[in-house]
Amino acid sequence: MTNRKQVHDVIKNSKDKHLARIREYMAQPSVSREDEAGVRACAELLKGYFLEIGCQEAEVAETPRLPSVWAHYDAGASKTLAVYGYFDTNLVGTGWTHDPYDVVLAEHKPFKEVVYGCGSGSKGGFAAFLNALESIIEVEGTLPVNLMFLIEGEEFLGSGNIPILIERYRDKLETADGLVWNGPAQNAIGDVSLSLGNKGCLHIELQCTGDRWGRGPQGGTTHSSTMGVVDHPVWRLVHALSTLYDPETNQVLVDGFYDDLREPNEDELMLVDKIIARFAGQEASAGALVGNPDRIKHFRDDMDGRDAFMSYCFQPTMNINGLRGGFTGPGTTLWTLPNEAYCTIDHRIPPDLDPDDLSEKIRAHLDAHGYGDIGIEVLMNVTSSTLSVQDPLAKAGIRVLEDWGIEPVIWPRKGASGPPGYFSTLLGLNVLSSTGIGHSTGHGSPDEFLVIEGDGKVGGLIELEQSYVDLLYSYAHYPNEY
C-alpha cells in the first residue's frame, strides 16, 4: 500500500500555503508578445520553485527568442515521465472587471471561491501540480516516478524553439516512458473530455506583394483610380487562394495532399462509436467538437453525428484564419490600390501527414498554377500526437478519473494542435493530456479564473492537487492497485 491518502491529508491542511504559491506565480506578468522582461522574471520564479521542491537540476533555458525552464527530479524510480507546460500568457484583452495581475479571490457562482488572473489554467494549474509534488515529497521523502520538466515561455508565439530545447536535453528526455501535460480537465459542470492525441498543425502565411511579383504598385500604394491600368496584388492573392480549396466539396485541391492519410484503427473507431452513442441527438453539445456550441447552428454540409465526429478526428483541414490587404480601419475609406496582401492559413493534420511535406506540396501547387512569386512563411510546424487507449499511461489516467466518479468522454484526438507533438515526433513519446479534477476558463477570455472551492461536481484546488497525486501513483504502480 502507498501513502497516497496521507498525501491527500497534507494537501487538505496546506490550502493557504499552496494558494499563496499559485497567486504569486499568476501575479508575475509574462505576456510573451510584448513583455520580454516579464517572461524572464517568470522563468526565474519558476526555476526557484523547482529548486524548492528538491529538483537536482533547474535552469533557465535560453533560446533564440524567449527563455524556457528545464528541471529534473531523479527519484531513482523505475518509471520516468517528461512534463510539458508553458508559463507565458496571452495579451490582456478587454472586458476584465478584475485587474489581471491582482489575483483576486472572489465568489463566482456556482463556485464559492475562484482566483482571477492571467494564465489561470496554465500557470495556476501548473503551480498546483508543484504543490502536489511537494506534498508527496513531504510524506514519502521522494516521488513515485522520475520527472523531467520542459516548461516554455513561447507558447503564444508558436512554440518554435521547442525542437531546439528537445535536442539540448535529448540525452535525458529520450529515457522518459511518456509525457504528461497537466491542468484542470473539467468543464463548468464537471464533465471531462479526455483526448488521446492532437492533430498536427502547419500554420503558414501567404504573401503577395508588388515588389515580389514585379507587377502592381511597388514600394507603396497608389491611388485606387490607377486600377484601370495597374495590376492588383490583392486580387492576385484571392485568385491564388481559390486554387487551393474547393468550398463546394470541402476538399483541399493541392496534388498529393491526402496521399499519406491513414485510416482510423479499431480502437479509434471504438472510441468514436462510444461518443456517437453518448451524444446521439445532441452532437453540438460535444464540447471538444465545436468548442462554442451556442455559436454553431449547423454542421458543415448538414452532416450527421457520425460524419461530424469522423471528420473532426480524422480529416485534415485548410482554414483561412486571417486576410489583410489595404485599408482595414474605421472611418473614411482610403482610396488606395494596395501594394501587398497577406493570408494566414492553419492546417490541422491527423497522423501520418507530415507538415514539411504538405508545405512543399503547397509551394509546388502555387508554382504549377503560375503563382511562383507568392511567398510562403511557415509560422508553426508541429506533427500530431497519438496515445493508444491500451497504453499504460492512458489506462492510468482513465482509472484516476473513474475513481473520482467521472466517466470521461474519450476522444481519439482533438482537432486542435499542441507543442507536445514535437515530443512525439522527435522522441517518440506518448502524451497524456490533462486529467486534473478542477476547472479554469480559457486563456485570453476576460476575467480568467481557476476554481479554488468547487461545487461538489467541479473540483477545487484541493481536489485538483489530489488528482495530480493520484495520477503519479496510478502510473507508477500500473497495472497494480495504487
The secondary structure of 76-124 as a DSSP string is: --S-EEEEEEE--B----S--SS-TTS--EEEETTEEEEEE-TTTTHHH
pLDDT at 290: 57
Give me the residue label for grid cell 461545487. Answer: 455
The residues with which 348 forms a beta bridge, in sequence order, are 201
Distance CA 245, CA 251 (A): 6
CA dihedral 54, 59, 61, 66 (to 10 degrees): 90
Distance CA 468, CA 482 (A): 13
Residue 380 binned pLDDT confidence (cut-offs 50, 70, 90) = confident
Name the grid cell of 378. Answer: 511557415
Mean of the per-residue pLDDT values for the chain?
94
Residue 292 binned pLDDT confidence (cut-offs 50, 70, 90) = low
Q: Which of 385, 390, 404 is nearest to 479 (CA)?
A: 390
pLDDT at 334: 72
Provide DSSP, 20-57: HHHHHHHHS--BTTT-HHHHHHHHHHHHHHHHHHT-SE
pLDDT at 289: 57
For 332, other C-beta atoms within 10 Å of its C-beta total: 7
Q: Are residues 339 and 216 in contact, defined by beta-carbon separation less than 8 angstroms?
A: yes
CATH class of 200-261+315-382: alpha beta
Distance CA 482, CA 480 (A): 6
Mean local confidence (pLDDT), 17-36:
97
The region of weakest confidence among 50-64, 129-143, 432-446 is 432-446
For 453, other C-beta atoms within 10 Å of its C-beta total: 17
Q: Which of 315, 309, 305 is nearest to 348 (CA)?
A: 315
pLDDT at 382: 87
Q: What sign results for the dihedral spanned by CA atoms 365, 366, 372, 374? A: negative
> What are the extents of the domains in the chain?
4-198+384-477, 200-261+315-382
Give me the residue label for grid cell 490587404. Answer: 325
Give me the residue label for grid cell 484541493. Answer: 462
Contacts of 257 (CB under 8 A, 6+ apart): 316, 358, 361
Domains 4-198+384-477 and 200-261+315-382 share a fold: no
The residues with which 204 forms a beta bridge, in sequence order, are 345, 378
Mean local confidence (pLDDT), 393-403:
97
Is residue 266 packed enough to be buried (19+ CB in 10 Å), middle (13-18) or exposed (0-12)? exposed
Instruction: State which amino acid sits at residue 378.
Output: V
Q: Tell me: pLDDT of 442 over 90.
A: no
Superfamily of domain 4-198+384-477: Zn peptidases (3.40.630.10)
Looking at residue 436, what DSSP letter applies? B
Q: Tell me: pLDDT of 288 over 70.
A: no
pLDDT at 96: 95
pLDDT at 145: 98
128 half-sphere exposure, CB direction, 13 A CA radius? 33
Quick: pLDDT tens for 147-170. 999 999 999 998 989 999 999 999
Instruction: State which amino acid sits at residue 291.
Output: G
Quick: pLDDT tens for 203-236. 999 999 999 999 999 999 999 999 999 999 999 9
**pTM, 2 dp:** 0.90
pLDDT at 333: 62
Is residue 378 packed enough to be buried (19+ CB in 10 Å), middle (13-18) or exposed (0-12)? middle
pLDDT at 332: 55
51 or 332, which is more confident?
Answer: 51
Mean local confidence (pLDDT), 316-344:
88
Q: CA-based diameter of the chain, in Å? A: 83
Quick: pLDDT tens for 77-123. 999 999 999 999 999 989 999 999 999 999 999 999 999 999 999 99
Quick: pLDDT tens for 298-309. 788 888 778 888
Is residue 442 packed enough to be buried (19+ CB in 10 Å), middle (13-18) or exposed (0-12)? exposed
Distance CA 431, CA 178 (A): 6
